[in-house]
Structure 1
Amino acid sequence: MRLINKLMSKPLNIIFAGTPDFAAQHLQALIDSHHNIVAVYCPPDKPAGRGKKLTACATKLLALEHNLTVEQPLNFKESSDQLTLANYQADVMVVVAYGLLLPEIILKTPRLGCINVHGSILPKWRGAAPIQRAVEAGDKLTGVTIMQMDKGLDTGDMILTATCEISDQDTSASIYEALAKLGPSALLETLSMMATGEYNRIPQINEDATYAAKLDKAEAELNWQLPAHILHKKLRAYIPWPVAQFTYLDQKQVEHRIRVWQASVVQMQHNQVAGTILNVEKSGITVATTENALKLEILQLPGKKALQCQDILNSRAEWFTIGQSINGNTK
Structure 2
Amino acid sequence: MRTTSVGVFKVATTGPGDVSGLMSMIGSGAIDPKSILAILGKTEGNGGVNDFTREYAVAALCAALAPRLGLSPEEVEQRIAFVMSGGTEGVLSPHITVFTRREVEGRPAGMSGKRLSIGIAQTRDFPPEELGRSPQIAQTAKAVKAAMADAGIPGPADVHFVQIKCPLLTSDRVEAAGARGNKTATTSAYASMAYSRGASALGVAVALGEIAPDVRDEDVLRRDDLFSKVASTSSGIELMHNVVIVLGNSASSVSAFEIGHAVMSDAIDAAAVIAALESVGLGFAPQAKKGRELVNIFAKAEASPDGSVRGFRHIMLEDTDISATRHARAAVGGLIAGLAGTGAVYVSGGAEHQGPPGGGPVAAIARLSD
TM over 0.5: no
Task: Kindly indicate whether structure 1 or structure 2 has the higher relative contact order, using CA contacts under 8 Å at least 6 residues apart.
Answer: 2
Larger radius of gyration: 1
Please report the TM-score for the alignment, with normalisation by the length of structure 2: 0.20
Please report the TM-score for the alignment, with normalisation by the length of structure 1: 0.21
